[in-house]
Each structure stands twice: as C-alpha cells, then as structure tokens.
C-alpha cells in the first residue's frame, strides 16, 4: 500500500504539466504527482480512459477522486489556507461551480497557454460518471 496520495495528470499536455508544476511549487500538496503515461494505472485502480478524461487523486487506501474533486483533495492536502479553499470546493454550490469550471478548462486546454495537440486528443465523452 502507498503511504502518500497520488495526483495523476496528463503528462503529454503542456498546460497540465505546467499547472501541476506550479501547484507543486506554490501550493506544496502532500502527494506524489505522476503523469498517467508514466505510471502503472492498474496498480492504482485507474483506467486509461479515466486518466485521459480528468486529473485524478488516489488515496493510499485506493479511493479515487476525479476532476474538480481531485483539485479539492490536492488543496486540502497542502494545509493552511489552501485547505480552506479545498474544503469549500467540496461543498455545494461551490462543488457544482468547480465542476463546471474544471470541465470548461479541461475540454478547452488545447487552446490555453502551453496547450498542445495532445491536449485535444480523445477527451470526451467519459465512459461513466465519476466522483
């Protein structure tokens, strides 16, 4: 069993890679950040389809959170004021707004600074609803 949570992101997307790097420097979450292309997804209990669709937070016990909830968990793990922001994102109606903003950014990341052609490849639809 892993000792630390894992943040899984799209390592082929420049926007995602830059964002995760900035979060690691500025927010300092207590997790291991790995590109889904460079890790054993099956060992983490995650499918490639889901990893392509959204950022994921995997707890040491194997619980998986996706999208805006993965962002919230990342912020919660950092402690301090960041954890307050993460807690707010987990509560309705902020949860609903965070989900909408996350999907908007994720679905259009190829057009954002650092976005690449890989950012727009096979993103939707997601095969099933996720937490």
130: phi > 0 → left, psi -120 to 50 → alpha, else beta; which?
Answer: beta
Q: Is residue 48 part of a domain?
A: yes
Q: Is residue 43 part of a domain?
A: yes
Q: Is residue 131 part of a domain?
A: no
Q: Provide the domain count of the chain.
A: 1
Q: What is the pLDDT of residues 64-109, one digit of tens each?
A: 999 999 999 999 999 999 999 999 999 999 999 999 999 999 988 8
Q: Is residue 130 part of a domain?
A: no
pLDDT value, residue 131 = 45
Q: What is the pLDDT of residues 14-67, one digit of tens each?
A: 889 999 999 999 999 999 999 999 999 999 999 999 999 999 999 999 999 999
pLDDT above 70 for 118: no
Q: What global pTM score does this model have? A: 0.87
* First-residue to last-residue Cα distance in the chain: 22
Cα gap 34→57, rounded to integer Å: 10
Q: Which helix (H) or strand (E) holds 109?
A: none
What b/e sequence results for 1-33 when a residue is b if at least 16 CB atoms lie within 10 Å of its CB, and e otherwise? Answer: eeeebbbbbbbbbbbbbebbeebeeebebebeb
pLDDT value, residue 68 = 98
Q: Is residue 82 part of a domain?
A: yes
Residue 114 confidence class, pLDDT cut points 50, 70, 90? low
Cα gap 89→99, rounded to integer Å: 9
Q: Is residue 127 part of a domain?
A: no
pLDDT value, residue 6 = 98
* 47: containing domain: 6-120
């Amino acid at each position: 069993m892993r000792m630390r949570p894992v943040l899984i992101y799209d390592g082929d997307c420049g926007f995602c890679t830059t964002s995760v790097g900035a979060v690691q420097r500025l927010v300092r979450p207590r997790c291991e950040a790995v590109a889904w292309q460079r890790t054993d997804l099956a060992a983490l209990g995650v499918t490639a389809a889901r990893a392509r669709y959204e950022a994921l937070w995997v707890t040491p016990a194997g619980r998986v959170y996706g999208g805006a909830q993965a962002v919230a968990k990342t912020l919660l793990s950092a402690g301090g004021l960041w954890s307050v922001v993460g807690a707010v994102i987990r509560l309705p109606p902020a949860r609903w707004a965070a989900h909408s903003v996350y999907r908007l950014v994720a679905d259009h990341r190829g057009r954002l600074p650092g976005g690449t052609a890989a950012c727009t490849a096979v993103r939707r639809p997601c095969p099933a609803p996720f937490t």
